[in-house]
Structure 1
Amino acid sequence: MTATQPKILEFGDRLLNSHEYSSKKTIDLFPSSETYFAQLKRTKFVPVLEEEMNTDKFVEFFIEKWNPRKSAVIVVNTIKRSIEVYYALKSELKGRGIDTPVYYLSTNIIPKKRMSVIQEVDKLLRANKSVILVSTQTIEAGVDLDFDMAFRDFAPLDSLVQTAGRVNRNSQKGEHLPVYIVKLAHDSDYIYHLFNRKLTMELLREYKEIYEWQYNKIIDRYYDKILSLGIPQESKNIWNEGILKLDFNKISEFRLIEDLSFICDVYVEKDENATILANEYENIILERGDYAHYNSFERKALLRNITAKVNDYIIQVKERKVESNLLQNFEIRNGVKSSLRWISPKDVSKLYDEETGFKFV
């Protein structure tokens, strides 16, 4: 529970700007948490931030620190970097005659493929096999995988703790397994707020190594400093104008990360099942065939069901990448109005890679 501190409630109280709330203090539902955290020995942070690394330098560093008999996860901040690292690492391992499997995970590949990768990696991990996973922050969101070590591109402290949670999860791999923190060029600058980065860097530079039993203390300091700045005007505007006045345009301005590029949903019609699903989706909307005999409530229920399956083939791509690759509108397929963009079966080989997903051509 280290990464998600209850101090968020204190932020909320201040945001309400009410005397009734501002006087309240957070109550720890686990009073003996200090004793619990003091016993944790699963992982440790190892900051390696003296110099910035490019992809080749990072792969060299990885090979130096990695034990070929161990599993490892590499978490970077951008899709572009993740693809570079994935191919560079595979090439380096092949050149050294090392046959450890390397997998790739990001929102650049369709959800169906992401689930397949997670299942395959999990199977190898449970069998105590050596495996490497190259990922973006996708790995942080509820993915139950247990590696021997991690390599994390620099990020705010809460994200670093999330990555540590993918190492030695069940305390069965020994003590103080390493989570190396590196800085890959300026990638973190494009994703995270300046103050969060600056504060994290200041805290990390106080230590050569940070053991798990120390995470709670350092995270507490991190949130205390953020809280001391008060509530950002942006948050006040979203609360007062968006939430209280139900201005959904104002709410839509909220972003967890600084990258505000517009994102497009792209349907990748990469196999026969994707084609069948797309046809059914269109038939329901156009009330064709058997669907013409269903009433509106039945069609809505069917549409919800088919949409959930269609989502297995949808990726999110930045609008500028969509435009530069001249992706077609889904409407071109059969006239169904939709906000989706579309990679047709004939264009899949040109625009979508089975291993790393959407191609930036």
Structure 2
Amino acid sequence: MGYIAHFREKDGAEQSLSTHLIETAEIARNNGQSIGIPTLCYLAGILHDSGKYTQKFQSYLLKAKAGEEVKRGSVDHSTYGGKLIRSQKPHTKYELMAMEMIANAIFAHHRSGGLLDFLSGEAAPTSPFIERYLREDLPEFDQVKKRFYREIMPEEKLQLILVQAGQELETLAKARGRITRTDQFYLLKVVYSALLDGDRRNTQLFEMNEPYQEIDRTELFRTLSQRLEATFASFKTGPDTVINRLRQEMADACLVASQRPTGIYSLSIPTGGGKTLSSMRFALNHALAQGKKRIIYIIPYSSIIEQNAAVFRRELADVNREIILEHHANLVQDEETWSEENEKKQALMQDTWDNPIIVTTMVRFLENIYGGSTRNPRRIHQLLDSVLIFDEIQSIPPKCLSMFTSLINFLKDYGKTTTLMCTATQPTLAKRKLPLQLSADAEIVPNLENTNRAFERVKVIDHRRKEGWCAADLSSFAEELLTKERNLLMILNTKKAVREVYQCLKESDRVVYHLSTAMTPAHRNQVLEEMRKGLKAQKPLVCVTTPLIEAGVDISFSCVIRSISGLDSIAQAAGRCNRNGESSTPQPVYLVNPVKELENIDKMPEIKTKAAITELLLNDRNFLKNDTSLLDLQLMAQFFDGYYEQVEKTGESEYLFNGGAQRLFDLVQKNENRKLFYRNSKKMEVPTFLVSSSSTIAKHFKVIDQQGESVLVEYGEGEELVSELSSSADVVLNKAWYQKAQQNSLNLFRHEFDQLVQEGMIRLTAEGVYVLINQGYDQEFGLNIQGDSLLSYGF
């Protein structure tokens, strides 16, 4: 009989199992080429669905094709490939390592929790991987082996390819002295990603009846570079000012630096210095010089994805949105169990990071590596042989430092990936416990101190007072300033404080705007555009906002009030004041200390710690006796050193779980505590060569604490998107729809999500998308937990 892997929905055509295994293996091989493990990835691909050779699975598939009701995930086919590779005989530790990587990737390729723990990361001293790896009662296993050896390759050839896979790992080890436990963790992730992508992509191509094509982006990157060069050439015709000359010098420095070898570099362009386009100039030309495959632009908050993507689209003429992908969130929920239908759905999803340029967030970037599901890790191999641009890198959560740094170092050492750390306020990451391996002469901006001083267009004024500032006081102070200034930006640390001060100011006749992360990206962008028009027309206005506006939002106010925070945030706030040198004299940035009743940051440890370090500097008159600017680079470095020393001392720089008893990063590394626990409890050595606990990491890892779900909001354009979702089940597979939906979505905290579900404000559609109904969203403030939005009354 002919064994099948899939059947096509539209015409019932069948894909043979041998074809699926061979074609998946070839894609997986290509995915692993950049990192030097193509054969290892090929083996994972060729074996992954061998369990479909069972008579039981073939019957399951034929019943599903005939329209009969079948129980999803009722037939295991993912264990067989792992068992098949285990049946081979390893001759070296590298072959053993390869076997365990292949088996785990295959076991997990339909598992919502991702890779299995080699050692359970918590609780019982078990090895979930070994429990499956050593399973003896696998039905039809002997028949599966015979059919695989007959249809795909003889056992002797499988053994030979395993030797080659082991040799690949040995070559990597010799080049670096050894493959550390941390490296083993990331290499396994790459194998897993290569397999997931090979499997889903081959399924997608079969469903669409299209051939697999490798993509060479050299000509595309050359074209994009030429388009961007035309923009930089046009800048030279602008006003000949000191600022414009410095912007051009820094942009030119990026062009020269793009010819440097693969490495980790810093780009410390002062706020307003043209960092967005200059960093892309570096990336495009570096991609051409070093043959990179992709550019990934990573920002701290989803609030500015659409802004940066819009800039790139405009300058790179991405009219049809085929070049740049914005990835805000995973809107469509993953199925908990495997099914043929779900595999096809995942295969057709449009957020696989195939585009030449990706714009995403730090949350999404890190969750690809450390999170669960099978959609996140499918993107990991896309990080290889790429250029990563981290915008506002100082915003990385301290608990993620070790995991972030080890990943970036690995991508440089193994993945031929270049990383560019962009910010006006560079954190001192090369001096941490686990140092970032910056390249020699890492800084791209020449004469950095002189350039930074030339860009200072503000005067930071310590306006704290002993009794603190309440909402009414801040409103009155704003009114006072507006008698002298054209407009005003007030940045406060919490949404509660922003809302209260906004409401106080609304009682006056002022034009007042509100911004916060409680609003969808599309809604925020609408408000920002309206403000920009008002500022350009020199209309008097006030904006009260959370710190989201500090992360790269291109806007300029006459005056800024900033509640006390980290010196890095203060510098970013200052970058929204007199940004383009509208005033020839420095404009004021006032630092204020809101009362606790207005702005309580006790549950925001990062902001609280940074604010405390800033206040120490403000109170140290040695820094200020010579009228030292608070934005001085040496002072900024001292701030970061003080901050990181503090968080390393308190443990805030570690991702702790189980009540602070364990470090998540230990599960990536040698995992000594869990090894010892296993050894003492079982009175035997750990039975695997690999020891990481990927599943436990995925269970606990969240870049943002209490992060809940992404929801599509029934507001503005979102109403039409929800309507389209209701009318067509396939709309989630439409790239244009999915991109718009992300711009009209919110990422909710878990407590917010749970409360809204309880109050009936959120519903889950048949397509797996959570929708926030319009009563849960307010046209002024965004998310409305109370569900008493004016929208519900038709206003």
1:274 aligns with 2:718: yes
Alignment match, 1:202: 616
Partner of 2:636: 219
User: How far 1:314 sits from its partner (Å)?
Assistant: 1.6
> What is the distance in 2 between the residues matched to 1:248 and 1:123?
49
Q: How does 1:169-188 map to 2 (within 5 A)?
A: 169-186=579-596, 187-188=600-601
SS of match in other structure, 1:15: coil
Partner of residue 694, structure 2:
247
Q: Given that residues 714 and 771 in structure 2 are in contact (C-alpha distance below 8 angstroms), is that contact kept between their aligned partners in structure 1? A: no
Q: For 2:669 and 2:560, locate their aligned partners in 1 and report how far apart those are by CA, in whole Å.
A: 39
Q: Give the aligned CA root-mean-square deviation in angstroms.
A: 3.2
What residue number does 1:337 align with? 768
C-alpha displacement of 1:55: 1.1
Contact preservation (8 Å) 1:110, 1:357: yes
Distance 1:107 1:7 in 2: 28
Find the counterpart in structure 1 of residue 205 from structure 2.
none
Give the Å deviation of 1:253: 3.3
Length-normalised TM-score, structure 2 = 0.37
By how many angstroms is 1:216 displaced?
1.7
- Answer yes or no: is 1:307 the counterpart of 2:738: yes
Aligned partner letter, 2:431? E
Which structure has the bigger radius of gyration? 2
Whole-angstrom distance in 2 between the partners of 1:281 and 1:242:
40
- Say if 1:155 and 1:188, in contact at 8 Å, map to a contact too: no
C-alpha displacement at 1:16, in angstroms? 5.5
Cα offset for 1:161? 0.9
Secondary structure of the corresponding residue to residue 355 of structure 1: coil
Q: Choose from 138, 146, 149 the match for 2:559.
A: 149
Partner of 1:15: 434
Query: Does residue 118 in structure 1 map to residue 528 in structure 2?
Result: yes
1:166 alignment partner in structure 2:
576
- Secondary structure of residue in 2 paired with 1:122: helix
How far residue 138 of structure 1 moved from its aligned partner, in angstroms, is 1.4
2:632 match: secondary structure: helix
Alpha-carbon contact 1:45-1:180 (below 8 Å) kept? yes
**Secondary structure of 1:308's aligned partner:** helix
What do the CA deviations read for 1:157-191 (whole angstroms, capped 9, x no partner)? 11111111101112221322111111222333332
Distance of 2:579 and 2:521 partners within structure 1: 24
Pick closer, same or farther for the CA change 1:243–1:155 going to 2, 3 Å. farther
Equivalence map 1:68-147=2 (5 Å): 69-91=485-507, 93-94=508-509, 100-147=510-557
Over residues 190-209 of structure 1, what are the superposed CA-to-partner deviations in whole Å (9 max), with x where a residue is unaligned? 32424322211101223679
The CA deviation string for residues 116-159 of structure 1, in whole angstroms up to 9 with x for no partner, is 11111111222222221111111012210011111111111111
Q: Deviations over 1:39-73 (max 9, x none)?
A: 34401211222332221122122223333651111
Distance 1:165 1:249 in 2: 41
Deviation at 1:28? 3.7
Q: Quick one: structure 1 residues 131 and 262, their matched pair in 2 at CA, closer, same or farther if it must change by over 3 Å? A: same
Opposite residue 189 of structure 1, the aligned amino acid is D
The residue number in structure 2 matching 1:97 is: none
- The corresponding residue for 2:102 is none
TM-aligned CA deviation for residue 307 of structure 1: 1.6
Matched residue SS, 1:188: coil
Q: 1:307 and 1:182 mapped to 2: Cα distance?
A: 41
Question: Cα gap change, 1:46/1:311 in structure 2, threshold over 3 Å: closer, same or farther?
Answer: same
TM-score, length-normalised on structure 1?
Answer: 0.77
Q: Distance in 1 between matches of 2:579 and 2:487?
A: 13
CA contact (8 A) 2:478 2:488 kept: no
Q: 1:75 to 1:242 in 2, by over 3 A?
A: farther
Measure the CA separation in 2 of the matches of 1:248 and 1:58. 48
User: Does the C-alpha gap of structure 1 residues 226 and 172 become closer, same or farther in structure 2, counting only changes over 3 Å?
Assistant: same
Per the alignment, in what secondary structure is the counterpart of residue 780 of structure 2? coil
Please give the alpha-carbon distance, in whole angstroms, between the structure 2 residues aligned to 1:65 and 1:225: 33
Partner deviation per Cα, 1:67-106 (whole Å, 9 max, x = no partner): 3651111111111211111111111x23xxxxx4111111
What is the CA–CA distance in structure 1 between the aligned matches of 2:511 and 2:669, rounded to whole Å? 48
Q: SS of 1:134's equivalent? A: strand
Aligned to 1:296: none
Match of 1:191 in 2: 604
Identical-pair percentage: 23
Aligned to 1:37, which of 452, 462, 465?
A: 452
**What stretches of structure 2 of length at least 5 have no aligned partner?**
1-267, 271-423, 657-662, 671-691, 787-795
Name the CA distance, whole Å, in 2 between partners of 1:319 and 1:30. 42
Cα pair 1:69 1:129 within 8 Å, conserved: no
Q: Is the 8 A contact 1:48 1:182 kept in 2?
A: yes
Secondary structure of 1:129's aligned partner:
coil
Could you tell me which amino acid in structure 2 is paired with residue 205 of structure 1?
A: N
* CA distance in structure 2 between the partners assigned to 1:198 and 1:277 by the alignment: 45
Say if 1:254 and 1:154 are closer, same or farther in 2 by CA, change over 3 A: farther
Separation in 1 of the partners of 2:777 and 2:743? Answer: 15
Query: Structure 1 CA distance, aligned partners of 2:669 and 2:615?
Result: 33
Question: Secondary structure of the residue that 1:190 maps to in structure 2?
Answer: coil
Return 5+ residue gaps in structure 1 as ranges. Answer: 95-99, 292-298
The aligned counterpart of 1:295 is none
Deviations 1:235-260 (A, max 9, x none): 5945453589573753663547xxx3
Cα 1:138–1:8 change in 2 (3 A) is same
Instruction: Tell me: CA distance 1:35–1:196, structure 2 relative to 1, closer, same or farther (3 Å).
Output: same
Q: 2: distance between equivalents of 1:351 and 1:42?
A: 41
